[in-house]
Amino acid sequence: MILLILGACSSRVARKQKVPSNSPGSIQSLENNIASTEENKLWAQDFLKAKLLAKKGGQTNHQQSCELFFKLINDDDFPLRDLAYIRSLDVCTYTPIELSKQWDQKELKPWLHEIFIKTALKIAKKKELIRYEAKFTFELSKFRNPKSEKIKFVERAIQLAKSFKDENLIESFETRLYKLSPAQKKIVSHSNIYHIARDYERRRYFKKARTLYLKIIRSKKYSSRKKIKAWNRIAMSYKLQRKKKRYRATLTKISHYLKNISFRNRENKIFLGEWNNAVIKEARAIWTGQNLNKAKLLLENLISEPLATPTVEARIYWILGLMNLEKNKIKDAIAYIEKGVQLDIEDKELAQQLKWLLAWTYYLNGKHELAITAFDDFKESVDSRSVHAKIDFWKAKTLKSLGRFQEANRLLEGIIEISPYSYYAGISYQELHIPIPPFRPSQKIEPIELPLFEWLIGLNEIPVSKAYLKYVTKDLDPIDKVEYFPHYKRANWYDGPIHIFFKLTDEQKQEVMEKNLEIIYPRPHLAYASKMSLRHKVPKELTYSIIRQESAFNTMARSWADAFGLMQLIPEVAKKLSKKYGVKYRKPEDLYRPSTNLFLGNAMLKQVLKSHHNRMIFAIASYNASDSAVRRWKLKRFKNPCQGKGVCDSEYFNDKILEFIENIPYSETKTYVKLVFRNYLNYLRLAEKKPFYFPKKKFFGPEA
């Protein structure tokens, strides 16, 4: 509630002005969701007319707008009196004294804080109320994104506070600035050097960051633990810069450094484990850099050294199994994997990866009976619908190889029944040669009643409606938030339901999907996405599928790998594309603009599609991993069975594509390809009116 001292407006009621019933925030939209009483209609009419007059501008219009807002503010029964007051700030001529009294005594609902601060800041600037401008600029920094924007606002607040020499305010503002950006401190000390280096790294000042990390490493003041952290950050800084040779060389230095520490502290299992894991990380980086034999030798030597835990040993066997599989040394691969499976380890995820790899290796080697036994053994050890679908699909493929078609088809039909919107359901439709049904909600969604929310939507206060929704759902369990999904959609809060959905159990996800697919798979920026689709000849369903996986439609997303915006573009790539297409681009933060991001993201998709002759699977993998990586994988892991043949067995070709996906060596890219593939099918299910067949030629290529 705001304690008001109002005397700026006349009590004279504004002349009646018609508001179109079909306009955003119309009385009609309110009547659909709020009790249609005469009082409600009058409130809505006054608020909407006041906003319309404010938008038109001019002294007379503002005076009439002020009178209407004033009328609502002083009506104790109007549910949005506080919001009416905030909107009145733009049109009513409050004196500095009146504003000072109101702002010093304000008590606002939390969900109104941001809109109040934004509006009050604008008025404080206009009336040159510098102390309030400083305070509101500082408060608004808490609502800004990305972090660079927060820093900019706090710096401006400090500048203002210094102009009227309020030392307490300056100290308070600087405390927040140093917390946001430790590098802003002029003095580097023993206690803050690591935090300052990390801040430089986050802001992409990599050389400055490495200079400070090296000071930590070379100084005798810091512990071994702090030096290890500094070494790891140096390696990561090179990785973020895409300096692969420097990254691998730094990992080698880290391995040597940790080996010396672990040998000096033989009783300390922590240092031993750090060294073991550093060698594993180094070996994987060398393998990625196309020196498999050197990487393999590194791990084989490590096996003969002291190891911290059975989990470390199992991880080495798992990687050696993968390496031998790549070299087509099946017997050696199976031998290593079996050793890993036999170990009793605490890491359940690694145990599952080993069991899967054993069954998968049997399958690839044509050991069908052993594969079926291994698939069954793995299924008994894991309780997950998605993993069960994966096991059942490949068991079905194995059964088909043995001529047991009825058993195989039952498994495929079971996948479709239990996980109908999954990747494995999609390829099960293809395997069974049956059409995919379009999305039809199982029943009408009954959203929970939120009268205030309906008022906000009806009055076209969309950003405020989102803030209100955040407030009322913040303490709820994920499954309880599902009831609010229709409200999220109306508030244009696209990433909210997606992140909630990720936290649900498999059973809950299935139930939610049956009713909310169009909310879990939203299509914002549709007009521009369609325009970019035509411009770059990229299916808009693919664009949406990529965005959903990359950023969940959060325009301000930034990943650990320094990818920005909706389509998570790397600055170096964006810079090259912007020059090629003449798109305005100066700094990474420009990628937070949806128009810039969508243009450059679609340009990149066009590029990778062309590179792989419009085979969508390879293009999707390239978007995530890099074009060069996918080309290497294709050479080693995908021999096109149709190349050079007049007649091609399309079924066999499809099998090889699906096997290629399972054999992608980067687990992140493998998962990514499957999920984007799934997203694409689900966007088609939303777009299509009739059942459709799996679009195999788009995904797999003309041979499919």
Task: Tell me, letter by letter, the H, E, C secondary structure of 504-524.
Answer: CCHHHHHHHHHHHHHHHCCCC
Name residue 7's amino acid. G
Report CA Rg, the chain: 30
Residue with tokens 């994920």: 478
Alpha-carbon distance of 613 to 682, in angstroms, equals: 24
Q: What is the pLDDT of residues 329-356, one digit of tens each?
A: 999 999 999 999 999 999 999 999 999 9
In single-letter form, the type of residue at position 137 comes to: T
**CA 701 to centroid of chain Cα atoms:** 29
Q: Cis peptide leading into 146, omega within 30 of 0?
A: yes
Provide the token pair at 325: 């599989």
- Nearest 5 degrees, angle CA 527-CA 623-CA 564? 65
Q: How confident is the model over 436-495, as pLDDT tens digits?
A: 999 987 666 677 899 999 999 999 999 999 999 999 999 999 999 999 999 999 999 999
| CB contact at 8 A, 582 and 590 | no
At a CB cut-off of 8 Å and minimum separation 6, what does 228 contact?
254, 257, 258, 274
**For 274, left (φ over 0), alpha (ψ -120 to 50), or beta?**
alpha
Q: Check if the beta carbon of residue 699 is closer than 8 Å to that of residue 356.
A: no
pLDDT of the residue at 672 = 97
User: In the block, which residue shows the tokens 């798979």?
Assistant: 521
* Measured distance CA(92)–CA(501) in Å, rounded: 44
Residue 261: the pLDDT is 94
Distance, in Å, from the CA atom of 318 to the CA atom of 351, rounded to the nearest integer, reads 9
Residues 6+ apart with CB under 8 A from 620: 542, 546, 672, 673, 676, 677
Cα separation, 618 vs 609, whole angstroms = 8
Q: Do 522 and 553 meet the contact criterion of CB atoms below 8 Å apart?
A: yes
Tokens of 123: 């008025």
User: Burial of 680 by CB count in 10 Å (0-12 exposed, 13-18 middle, 19+ buried)?
Assistant: buried
> Using alpha carbons only, what angle is made at residue 698 by residues 564 and 583, rounded to the nearest 5 degrees?
35
**Measured distance CA(222)–CA(191) in Å, rounded:** 10
- Residues 679 and 97: their CA atoms lie apart, in Å, by 57
> In 10 A of CB 267, how many CB atoms?
6
Of the candidates 30, 67, 33, 35, the one whose C-alpha atom is nearest the C-alpha of residue 50 is 67
Cα–Cα–Cα angle for 338, 343, 347, rounded to 5 degrees: 110
The residue count of the chain comes to: 704
Three-state secondary-structure class, residue 692:
strand
pLDDT tens-digit readout, 485-524: 999 999 999 999 999 999 999 889 988 998 889 999 999 9
What is the DSSP secondary structure assignment for residue 646, as one 8-state letter? S
Question: Alpha-carbon distance 67 to 44, whole Å?
Answer: 15
| CB atoms closer than 10 angstroms to residue 162 | 14
Using N-to-C axis directions, what is the helix angle for 526-536 and 540-550, rounded to 10°? 120
Instruction: Report residue 345 as tokens.
Output: 């380890």
Query: Tokens for 233?
Result: 């950050």
Tokens of 360: 């998968």
Contact 557, 565 (CB under 8 A): yes
Helices (H), 24-109: 27-31, 38-56, 59-73, 81-88, 96-104
| Residues in the chain where the model's pLDDT stays below 70 | 1-35, 442-445, 643-648, 703-704
84: closest CA among 50, 57, 110?
50
538, 612 Cβ separation under 8 angstroms? no
How far apart CA 567 and CA 590 sit, in angstroms, is: 13
Residue type, 699: F
pLDDT of residue 640: 73
d(CA 352, CA 372): 16
Specify the amino acid at residue 271.
Answer: F
Query: What whole-number distance in Å separates Cα of residue 195 and Cα of residue 487?
Result: 40
Q: Judge contact between 591 and 568, C-beta under 8 A.
A: no
The string of DSSP codes covering 335-400 is HHHHHHHHS--S-HHHHHHHHHHHHHHHHHTT-HHHHHHHHHHHHHT---HHHHHHHHHHHHHHHH
Q: Nearest-CA neighbor of 299 among 280, 275, 313?
A: 280
- DSSP SS3 for 558: strand
Taken in order 541, 542, 544, 545, is the CA torsion positive or negative?
A: positive
b/e map of 322-331 (b: 16 or more CB within 10 Å)? bbbbbeeebe
Report CA-CA distances (Å) from 442 to 429, 510, 512, 519, 668. Answer: 20, 12, 10, 14, 33
In angstroms, rounded to a whole number, what is the distance separating the alpha carbons of residues 553 and 550? 8
What does the alpha-carbon distance between residue 304 and residue 324 come to, in Å, rounded to a whole number? 18
